[in-house]
Amino acid sequence: MTNLVASALPSRAGWRRTGPAMVSAVAMVAMIAVCSSLQSEVLTVPGLALVLSTTVPLVIAAQAQMVLMAVGDIDLGIGNFVGLVTVITATKLVSSPGTGALLLLGLVAAYAVLGALIHLRRVPSLIATLGASFVWLGLGLFLLPTPGGSTPEWLASFGSWQPAGFPAPLLPILAVAALVWLLSARSSVGVRVRALGSNPVALQRAGLRPLAARVVAYAVAGGLGVLSGLVLASQTGGGDVSSASSYTLITVAAVILGGGSFAGGTAVPWGVAIGGITLGLVSVVLSLLDVPSNMQSAVQGVIVLAVLAGRVVVGKVLR
Amino acid sequence: MHVDNLPVGSHAAPPQGDRTPSPAPPVVTARRVTRTYGRTRALTGVDLDVRAGEVLGLVGHNGAGKSTLMRVLAGLEACDEGTVTVGGQEASRDVAPGTGPFRAVRMAYQETSLCPDLTVAENIWVSSRHCLPRLGWRRAASRAVARRLDEMFPSHRVAPRDRIEDLSLAQRQMVEIVRASLVDRLELLILDEPTESLGPDAARSLYAYVRRLTAQGTAVLLISHRIREVLSVADRVAVMRDGAVVAERPAAGLGEQDVLALMGAEVVEPTATPAPARAAGERPVVATLRGATGHGLHDVSITVGRGEVVGLAGLAGQGQQQVLERLWRPVRRDTTVAGTRAYVPGDRQRSGVLPLWSVAENLIVTAMRGLARYGVRRTGAEDVAVRDWVDRLAIRGGADAGMTELSGGNQQKVIVARAFASTADLVLLDDPFRGVDVHTKTDLYTLIRQEAAGGRSVVWYSSENAEMAHCDRVYVLRAGRVVAELTGAEISEERIIAVSFAESESTGAQR
Amino acid sequence: MTLRTLARPWIWGFAAAALVWVLILAISNQGGGQTVSLALSLAPYLVIVGLGQMLVITAGPGNIDVSVAPIISLAGFVAVQVTATTGSVPVGILAGIGTGLAVAVVSVVAILGLSVPPIIATLAAGLIASSLTLSLADGFTAVPDDGLRRLLNLRPAGVPVLAVAVAALTALVVALLRRTTYGRSLLAVGQSRPAAERAGVPVARVIAITYLASGALAGLAGALLAAYIAPSPDLGTRYLLDSVAVVVIGGTLISGGRAVPVGIWGSALFFILLDGLVNLVGWNTAAQNLLKGGLVLFVLFLAGGGTLRNPGATTRSRRRLRPAAATTAGTSTGENSNG
């Protein structure tokens, strides 16, 4: 009897895990279908590139959020952090590339230190990262009080890169998702990080240090945040510390849509990519549908609630 | 060094063919080991040898100190006094699992120490990473775990890529045991209730493997409530009681009754005078469970009369807490409760104490609701009630002391008082007196009897069987079923122990 | 005892405010009283929102209301519109409060009904609210009521009327926490949700009331703020971060269970005075944000997860955010079973 149930389990469990990402994927495909039915050029390579380009920095930032949520934390500073990176990119990285690069590395280190302090002082990451977001904002305004600046040439050329065969934005989205997947799902570092989110007691019993795992997670998140800022700067061609402030909460929603959870322990890089694109596409669909852009955030909110409600229903059915 | 190398090496004793315990060198030795948590003395001076190539069974009732002893032997925590020697090397005070001599000691935990979100192979990496190659560890771990699972549990149906959360309870237990056994050098394998969730076939193949292990010189420490099982597998049996090993006997020639007797069935506790038992039929019924099934219960029927103290006994985790849960939140149709309820939690730190508050605030939080008018507190009436209860139970420190400044016993008094200070008709006690000193216990027993005499009903789950003497009626639970109902003079520690340990062939396959 | 007083972080809000005030006095030649009076007329809006956020944070780990900013903006438009249509200021303000309640209802349904984590539930509710705000803002013509604006600007003897009213509101919240069963239940839930549940506290109801109160207070702040400045879609934007920051600096326990309403005044005054100082010195807002963020982190890491106060016994239960510590300790005390 037990064995019969057990053999039936994996498929159900697998569905339960990939379900959220599947629902998001269906929503994503539906959105692209709607877009293409309204504007047939969407399905061409330049059309897809145009539609997808705005979602790239969001998806990368969502990967950063996902890494922190895998250890059971949450980052409310990622939006301003990405904004700060665009500012550094548009100022120091142009004037003196060496200093700029050092500054960006320093930001990654700052994230690692933040993670260490959160762990050692046992404070909620929610509030600590919120406090840090003030600091990122302040630093950004300090460097560049009003939006402006210019991006380094190599970055600008990346932003305007238009390969013939496929939509350019897919490359960074897929590359980063693959990288995060390798790191979080395949490597031993990823096992440590997920183990910390899943069962810290087991981690300690095995003689592994939770502090190290948390610091690594924060450093990776900081690195991804820097990457997101670089991409955003390449698209906007300048720096603006508040250009990504909406990312903070949307990235959390993207992780949830992609199948992540607040409890920690799960890494869903592919789901996060889908969730991020879905949320990013909302504005495109609405503008094509001639719905006032005002409704964009409401639609995002309803999508998030609907997906979560769906999950509750699915969870009850599968039980 | 490869992970699935079996421990055949210079360190191991020569293989033993027969089951007669011969004086092989001890791999782990404990001498006068004590361990205290707060005011609870979990270990009071343990002497124990585990010898190479033997299976040592460790038995004892709830709270006898088995878990703590295992944690000390596994290097999970240091002992306060005494010494632990592993492989001839004395363990230092700042121990860590998997380091120094403890690297060759592995333990399979009853509640498992697996990460539910990780795959089987990844969990193997977490616990056995020092025996795995840096590159290609996943494949190496998968191969090792698959091979060992095949050896230990031929019918396991677990793939190394499965996530732990997707496995059944039995499969998780298999993975946990395999996880513990996978190491380059294994001197002592500790198995904590390994067959609790395994079926009979899996249990048989596990013990067959254990035999092979010991034949190669590894020592196995087996902890189980299933005494017959221990007797059939172990070479020697050590019995624990009150934080010490009270007997070490060869298993051969030992019977179940002998072990039960050694475990404390013969101990005579200071006898409490049980209240004159009245039949439940004479009282108006306050609460009933009619054939409750599900969430760990199987066809449980229970009635609670007005003014009656009903006990729930048996080994820990046999469904007693689920019964309390149903009575606390009677949402199902099979449960009816007439009147209001109050709950005394057993896990003081987690679900009892409100740490920022004083004694008075902690005590009154339940009664506050009944005293208030239109949601506004009546502090005068509250103060009177608090003072009354603080005096009645002689709570040290008084009403204004901080809750966390109190000793465990006094904290427990406050939490018991919290429930009885309310107007609840039915009070549910979830093993609240574990680790509480004798004087406090006596006070609280008296209180319970007084309150019952005043017309309140009490349902009391306790892991200390001696406490059940204060009940009018006792239901003994095993594996989610009521296996006995004892009344009045029938209630005795021996009876309860006998009933809770009595094995039927079906219990193994239940889950 | 001195250690205890020092460990009360709410003092730092007032201390920082006083420090900034002294700096302003030293730099400018305007009267110190005037500075305080101006600060007192600006701080109450932040205090109102902060009180609501404080109740939410007090409900325990994971509880946060990120919908306050959109509620403020939306309630501003609704209140101004209703006031202009009905001609009645009280009705307008009530409409603002009602708006906040309505948005909070969405959050509460999601939190309790769908078991959505509060941050996501309030985020989604806030997203819906901000869409409504933008729709309302299109072609919005109504202007705030002049009488209300004059009332909000009224400062007899240098003391703003609004400050007095919000001080009374603060006193009301203090009384709510001390004197009502709801207040005590909220503090119990915040200290330990399982313990509160076992003590018979109706946890779900307490959580619902708390989020509704936060929504209502944000709505009230929006209605007043719109009359004071003007309705705009960005009216509430800065209040999300600021409301959490004033609660943290104000000394409310971030892990829940202890609320310090008075402390919010200290940190709110500090934030407002900091704005004044920054304007005076001619610093950009960068320094202001750095100071705010730095102080939040400083207070947070110094206070820690309770290690500073009563080391030992209490630390374990205060670290509820990290179940690891509790689990390790729990497993050591007795036999475990997977029943």
pLDDT digits (tens, 9 = 90+) for A90-130: 998 888 989 999 999 999 999 999 999 999 988 888 889 98
Q: Residue B454 has which token pair?
A: 């005043």
The chain A residue lying nearest C246, using CA atoms, is: A131
Task: Determine contact, residues A125/A68, Cβ cutoff 8 Å.
Answer: yes
Packing angle, helices C32-58 and C181-191, rounded to 10: 70
Bridge partners (DSSP) listed for residue B430? B461
* B394 lies in some domain: yes
Strands B309-313 and B335-337: unpaired
C121 Cα to chain A: minimum distance (Å): 7
Range among B393-407, B496-510, C200-214, C284-298 rated most confident: C200-214
pLDDT confidence of residue C302:
80
Residues of C in Cβ contact (< 8 Å) with A131: 245, 248, 293, 296-297, 300
Tell me how far apart the alpha carbons of residues A115 and A74 are, in angstroms, rounded to a whole number: 11
pLDDT in tens, B326-384: 899 888 888 888 888 999 988 877 888 999 999 999 999 999 988 998 889 999 999 99
Tell me how far apart the alpha carbons of residues B253 and B245 are, in angstroms, rounded to a whole number: 20
Top-confidence residue, A34 or C50: C50
Residue B484 DSSP SS3: strand
A183 Cα to chain B: minimum distance (Å): 14
Interface of A with B in 270-309 (CB under 8 A): none
Residue B159 DSSP SS3: coil
Top-confidence residue, C201 or B195: C201
Same-domain check for residues B395 and B247: no
Residues 6+ apart with CB under 8 A from B254: B231, B237
Same-domain check for residues B405 and B477: no
List the subunits that have 3+ CB pairs under 8 angstroms with A. B, C
Q: Please classify residue B381 by burial: count the beta carbons closer than 10 Å to its beta carbon, then call 0-12 exposed, 13-18 middle and 19+ buried.
A: middle
pLDDT confidence of residue B94:
65
pLDDT in tens, C270-280: 989 888 888 78
Task: Determine contact, residues A68/A74, Cβ cutoff 8 Å.
Answer: yes
pLDDT confidence of residue C326:
32
- Among B106, B118, B137, B195, most A C-beta atoms within 10 A, so best to mutate, is B118
Task: Determine contact, residues B97/B74, Cβ cutoff 8 Å.
Answer: yes
pLDDT higher than 60, residue C49 = yes
Q: Please give the backbone phi and psi of residue B426, each rounded to the nearest 5 degrees, phi first.
A: -125, 125
Same-domain check for residues B483 and B365: no
pLDDT higher than 70, residue C312 = no
* B91 lies in some domain: yes
What CATH code is carried by the domain that includes residue B465? 3.40.50.300
pLDDT higher than 90, residue B426 = yes
Same-domain check for residues B284 and B230: no
* B431 lies in some domain: yes
pLDDT in tens, B456-474: 999 999 877 778 888 999 9
Q: For chain C, give the mean pLDDT.
A: 83
pTM value > 0.90: no
Last residue of a domain, one of B263, B295, B320: B263
CB within 8 Å: A207 and B113: no
- Among B122, B130, B182, B183, most A C-beta atoms within 10 A, so best to mutate, is B122
CB within 8 Å: A117 and C301: yes
CB within 8 Å: B97 and A207: yes
Quick one: how far is CA B132 from the chain centroid? 34
Query: pLDDT category, A77, cuts 50, 70, 90?
Result: very high
Point out the residue among C120, C255, C297 whose CB comes nearest to the CB of A124.
C255
Between the CA atoms of B253, B257, B262 and B268, what dihedral angle is there, to the nearest 10 degrees? -160
Query: pLDDT category, B39, cuts 50, 70, 90?
Result: low
CB within 8 Å: C124 and A200: no
pLDDT higher than 50, residue C333 = no
pLDDT confidence of residue B10:
36
Helices within B315-421 (DSSP H only): 320-328, 348-351, 359-364, 367-371, 379-392, 408-421
Query: pLDDT category, A26, cuts 50, 70, 90?
Result: confident
Query: pLDDT category, B502, cuts 50, 70, 90?
Result: low
Q: How far apart are the first and last CA of chain B?
A: 38
Strands B244-250 and B89-90: unpaired
Task: Determine contact, residues B177/A25, Cβ cutoff 8 Å.
Answer: no
* B3 lies in some domain: no
CB within 8 Å: A188 and B98: no
Query: pLDDT category, C331, cuts 50, 70, 90?
Result: very low
Q: Residue C242 has which token pair?
A: 């600021």
pLDDT higher than 60, residue C318 = no
Average pLDDT over residues B13-23: 47
Interface of C with A in 3-42 (CB under 8 A): none
Task: Determine contact, residues B117/B165, Cβ cutoff 8 Å.
Answer: yes
Sequence-distant contacts of B101-105: CB under 8 A, at least 24 apart:
B101/B75, B102/B74, B102/B75, B103/B130, B103/B183, B103/B185, B104/B7, B104/B183, B104/B185, B104/B186, B104/B187, B104/B188, B105/B28, B105/B73, B105/B74, B105/B75, B105/B187, B105/B188, B105/B190
Domain count, chain B: 3
The chain B residue lying nearest A70, using CA atoms, is: B117
pLDDT higher than 60, residue A261 = yes
pLDDT in tens, C164-192: 999 999 999 999 999 999 999 999 999 99
Interface of C with A in 106-135 (CB under 8 A): 110, 114-117, 119-121, 123-128, 130-132, 134-135
Place of tokens 């007439």: B338
Counting residues of chain B whose pLDDT is more than 90, the rounded percentage is 28
Residue B485 DSSP SS3: strand
Tell me which residue of A112, A16, A100 sits closest to B166, measured CA to CA. Answer: A16
pLDDT higher than 60, residue B510 = no
Tell me how far apart the alpha carbons of residues C170 and C180 are, in angstroms, rounded to a whole number: 15
The chain B residue lying nearest A15, using CA atoms, is: B166
Same-domain check for residues B152 and B237: yes
Tell me which residue of C54, C79, C225, C92 sits closest to C149, measured CA to CA. Answer: C225
pLDDT higher than 50, residue A54 = yes
Point out the residue among C114, C119, C321 whose CB comes nearest to the CB of A309.
C114
Tell me which residue of B148, B212, B210 sits closest to B174, measured CA to CA. Answer: B148
ipTM of the complex: 0.85
Average pLDDT over residues C41-62: 94
Q: Domain spans of chain A?
A: 45-318
- Other beta carbons within 10 angstroms of residue B207's beta carbon come to 20
Residues of A in Cβ contact (< 8 Å) with B506: none
Tell me which residue of B245, B303, B235, B205 sits closest to B70, measured CA to CA. Answer: B245
Same-domain check for residues B449 and B327: yes
Same-domain check for residues B329 and B253: no
Residues of B in Cβ contact (< 8 Å) with C200: 341-343, 366, 369, 422, 424
State which residues form the domain around B41. Answer: 26-263
Residue B58 DSSP SS3: strand
Bridge partners (DSSP) listed for residue B342? B427
Residue A306 DSSP SS3: helix
Same-domain check for residues B150 and B166: yes
pLDDT higher than 50, residue C106 = yes
pLDDT higher than 90, residue C107 = yes
Q: For chain A, give the mean pLDDT.
A: 86
* B322 lies in some domain: yes
Residues 6+ apart with CB under 8 A from B119: B160, B161, B162, B163, B164
CB within 8 Å: C291 and A294: no
CB within 8 Å: B405 and C179: no
Number of inter-chain CB pairs under 8 A, A vs B: 82
Interface of B with A in 238-277 (CB under 8 A): none
The chain A residue lying nearest B112, using CA atoms, is: A202
Q: For chain B, give the mean pLDDT.
A: 82
Same-domain check for residues B71 and B181: yes
Interface contact A242, partner C, CB < 8 A? no
- Among C193, C198, C332, most B C-beta atoms within 10 A, so best to mutate, is C198
Bridge partners (DSSP) listed for residue B248? B238
- Among B240, B356, B415, B420, most C C-beta atoms within 10 A, so best to mutate, is B356
Same-domain check for residues B451 and B397: no
Phi-psi region of B49 (alpha: psi -120 to 50; beta: other; left: phi over 0): beta
DSSP codes joined into one string, A15-64: HHHHHHHHHHHHHHHHHHHHHHHH-GGGGSHHHHHHHHHTHHHHHHHHHH
Domains, chain C, in order of start with CATH, read: 2-326 (1.10.3470)
For Cα atoms B506, B507, B509, give the angle at the middle one, nearest 5 degrees.
Answer: 70
pLDDT higher than 60, residue B18 = no
Average pLDDT over residues B83-94: 77
DSSP B394: T
Last residue of a domain, one of B398, B424, B450: B424
pLDDT in tens, C231-257: 999 899 889 888 988 998 888 888 889
Point out the residue among B98, B116, B157 whose CB comes nearest to the CB of A206.
B98
Quick one: how far is CA A177 from the chain centroid? 10
pLDDT higher than 80, residue C140 = yes
Residue B430 DSSP SS3: strand
Task: Determine contact, residues C24/C276, Cβ cutoff 8 Å.
Answer: yes
List the subunits that have 3+ CB pairs under 8 angstroms with C. A, B
Give residue B389's identity as a one-letter amino acid code. Answer: W
Same-domain check for residues B259 and B287: no
CB within 8 Å: B111 and C336: yes
Interface contact A128, partner C, CB < 8 A? yes
C116 Cα to chain A: minimum distance (Å): 7
pLDDT in tens, C141-172: 888 888 888 888 888 888 899 999 999 999 99
Last residue of a domain, one of B263, B296, B314: B263
Point out the residue among A124, A256, A309 whose CB comes nearest to the CB of C254.
A124
Query: pLDDT category, B72, cuts 50, 70, 90?
Result: confident
pLDDT confidence of residue B65:
81
pLDDT higher than 90, residue A156 = no
Tell me how far apart the alpha carbons of residues B118 and B165 are, in angstroms, rounded to a whole number: 8
Query: pLDDT category, A257, cuts 50, 70, 90?
Result: confident
Tell me how far apart the alpha carbons of residues C339 and C322 are, in angstroms, rounded to a whole number: 24
CB within 8 Å: A305 and C66: no
A18-32, B223-237, B386-400: which has the minimum mean pLDDT?
Answer: A18-32
Interface contact C194, partner B, CB < 8 A? yes
pLDDT confidence of residue A88:
94
Same-domain check for residues B332 and B362: no
Q: In the sheet that B335-337 helps form, which strands lie side by side, from edge to edge?
A: B297-305, B285-294, B335-337
Place of tokens 């099982």: B229
Task: Determine contact, residues C266/C43, Cβ cutoff 8 Å.
Answer: no
pLDDT confidence of residue B265:
55
